Each structure stands twice: as C-alpha cells, then as structure tokens.
C-alpha cells in the first residue's frame, strides 16, 4: 500500500492503515528519539507518543505534502517536550557560554577530533539545550539539510543556521571541558 493511500484510509477512519506507516518510520523515529533523549527506554516512550500524536492529528495533515517531515516534526517536538518536562536538559548559559569558545569557524571534523571516543561526543550532544540538540541531531545524525530541518521544526532556515553554529561552538566548549576533566583524572 502506498503511503498516501494509507494516510487517506486513516483519515477515512481505517485504524489498521496506520500500521504500515508506523512500520515504515519506526526505526528512524526511534533513532531520532534515542539521540535526543539519550535513553532507550525514554526514546521508545517518546517515539510511541509521537506516533500517537501523529495518528490523533492525521485529520489536519495534507496528504499532498510529504509525510516524513510532518512526522519528524511531531517526534522532534515530543522529544523537546519530554526533555523540558523531565528537566533532563542542562541549563547552559546560551550566549555567555558561547562567547568563551575559541575558533568558532571549525567544522564537524574538528569537533570529532576533540573527542577521544564517540561516548564523549554523545555526552556533549546530550548536554546541549534542546533547541541546539535538535539541530545537531537532525543535521549530523539524520543527515538532513537546512531546508528539511526547517520543515521538521517549523523554524526559519536562517535560525537553523544560527542554532547549528552556536551548537557547534557549545559542543567545542563541552568537548574541551571533557578533555580537561579526563586529563586531570588520568
């Protein structure tokens, strides 16, 4: 069954037609939620809630528009809401913290070089405030472009660029701090 047909059937009241949509996107949504929440259990709960919200609001979805960005926007919003409700995002002083970072032009390869392993990067990404974490996950891990991120988050493309720039600065600072801490304990 084609995606648009499944959506139209769901909008017409056929609950079973939503199953193929869940199956098609479940792994991608779960991966997004895992990167955003940092916990398999929380990711599974948030992903499930995202699908519930998508189903509940399917009547407002235009089947002529791409479904994936609409669904990912719901999942992203559910992740951000979860992080805010659970208090699991760290309160990092936005602009003040970013001003302390040197070499703001370094890209993703430089960030990865700062970390000795993927665990440091994961911890640093998890420490980002939700808006920054969202753009980092969508851009680097989901490999979406600015326009796709804008469609999924509802933010202007320019804001995506700004948040990604600031997130990279903050990641650089967090990774540098981790490197100093791990060097001090060695």
Indicate the pTM of the whole model: 0.62
Return d(Cα 43, Cα 32) in angstroms, integer: 8
C-beta of residue 168 within 8 angstroms of C-beta of residue 111: yes
| Helix, strand, coil % over all residues of the chain, rounded to 5 | 75, 0, 25
C-beta of residue 18 within 8 angstroms of C-beta of residue 56: no
pLDDT tens for 9-36 read 988 889 899 999 999 999 999 988 988 8
Q: At what angle do helices 146-153 and 157-185 cross, to 10 degrees?
A: 100
pLDDT tens for 99-150 read 333 344 445 554 444 334 466 777 788 888 888 888 888 888 777 889 888 8
Return d(Cα 167, Cα 97) in angstroms, integer: 11
3-state secondary structure labels for all residues of 148-163: HHHHHHCCCHHHHHHH
C-beta of residue 47 within 8 angstroms of C-beta of residue 29: yes
């Amino acid at each position: 069954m084609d995606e648009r047909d499944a959506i139209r059937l769901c909008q017409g009241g056929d609950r079973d037609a939503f199953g193929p949509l869940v199956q098609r996107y479940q792994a991608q949504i779960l991966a997004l939620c895992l990167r955003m929440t940092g916990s398999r259990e929380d990711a599974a709960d948030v992903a499930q809630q995202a699908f519930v919200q998508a189903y509940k609001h399917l009547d407002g979805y235009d089947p002529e528009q791409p479904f994936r960005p609409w669904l990912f926007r719901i999942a992203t919003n559910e992740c951000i809401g979860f992080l805010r409700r659970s208090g699991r995002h760290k309160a990092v002083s936005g602009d003040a913290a970013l001003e302390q970072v040197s070499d703001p032009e370094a890209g993703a390869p430089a960030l990865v070089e700062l970390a000795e392993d993927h665990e440091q990067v994961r911890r640093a990404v998890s420490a980002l405030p939700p808006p920054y974490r969202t753009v980092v996950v969508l851009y680097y891990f989901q490999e979406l472009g600015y326009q796709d991120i804008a469609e999924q988050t509802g933010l202007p493309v320019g804001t995506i660029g700004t948040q990604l720039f600031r997130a990279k600065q903050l990641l650089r600072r967090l990774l540098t701090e981790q490197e100093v801490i791990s060097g001090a304990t060695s």
